Homo-oligomer: A and B are copies of this chain.
Amino acid sequence: MNMTTRVSRLRGDRVTLAHGGGGRAMRDLIEEVFTDVFRPPGREDQARLTSEALQEAGAQLAFTTDGYVVTPVEFPGGDIGKLAVCGTVNDLAVGGARPLWLSASFIIEEGCEIALLRRIAATMAAEAEAAGVRIVTGDTKVVEKGGCDTLFVTTSGVGAIPPGRDIAAVNIRPGDVAIVNGVLGDHGATILAARGDLALSTPIESDCAALGHLMEDVIAAAPGMRAARDLTRGGLASALNEMAAEAGVTVELSDEALPIRPEVRGMCEILGLDPLYLANEGRAVLFVPEAQAEAALAAMRARPEGEGAAVVGRAVTAGRIPVVTKTAFGGTRIVDMLVGEQLPRIC
């Protein structure tokens, strides 16, 4: 172990175009800010990896990618780096894959504070470690002032789906129970408040969380799990509309059962938003056979990221409308797919 404190070779406290030029300044930035924190294997421009989980007969490789452009890049409960790690881990996990490796690509605006990059890299390393994945390869580009807004991060993920596991929306059957792992809309409400142009002050934090461990626990407890989706842009409503269409079922939600904080409900009422469309970054909806619903709920509630788990509805024989909500007064409301844009750059 090297106990000496290394002297930084980075000059100045802001990123310049030279940090993207392919030369010494770029190498210094990448090594000090990213490589020293992520500790990727090897020195070539590619990570070289092996995994017993992938080599097992019948295993599948899962591969996914997401770009992150959230503004502001730091917000209560997280930052763009935490979103990037958790979002890609979740895209792997909700399909039944065990997340293995991430790549991380940064597009940085000239003038961005190096201290900000260090904070975000530290968040990413911590989140990756907690989620049991490694950030193994990356890239850095710098664009001139005004060429992008502070920082964009794109992560891709590789995971292993164990032999015989098949979690997909097409497997949903009428009678299956829909469960979410916690209150809805906290991430969307947090970003909205953090932008500051609404003079809203709320104690809410982003729900941003990695769901890999939770998914493994629930699959162990409810091995008949049909399908899962993480709820990001477009919220629960958009995810359910996609799933219902793919499965050929209708999903009936119970308005009373939807777990939404009073503060989020209140903010939505003031602004004319529907919490079912608010973005989440640590929430998923899972469909399980009715007989396994209690076991799934118990497994979720045993983890911090699932302590607010709740049954929100069920799949029924396909009707004319893919997703509906039953109100407390016996009425039915159509939950359509989001048509336009509720809130730009939420993730």
Contact = CB atoms under 8 A, between A and B. Distances in A.
A275 interface: no
Interface string A132-149: 000011111111101111
A234 interface: yes
Interface stretch (A58-66, A178-186, A249-257): A58-66
A345 interface: yes
A47 B24 contact: no
Nearest to A19: B341
Nearest to A63: B47
Interface in A52-110: 54-55, 57, 59-69, 91-92, 94-95, 97, 101, 103-107
Contacts of A47: 62-64
Contacts of A94: 45
Contacts of A277: 23
Contact of A49 (B63, B69, B107, B139): B63
Given A342-B21, A344-B144, A44 B169 contact: yes
Contact of A344 (B49, B142, B154): B142
A16 to B, nearest CB: 8
Given A152-B107, A154-B105, A338-B24, A46 B17 contact: no
A279 interface: yes
Interface residues of A, number: 88
A233 interface: yes
A23 B277 CA distance: 9
A10 interface: no
A261 interface: no
A138 to B, nearest CB: 6
B69 A61 contact: no
Contacts of A235: 22
The 5 lowest CB-CB distance pairs between A and B, nearest first, are A22-B233, A23-B338, A22-B234, A21-B341, A156-B156
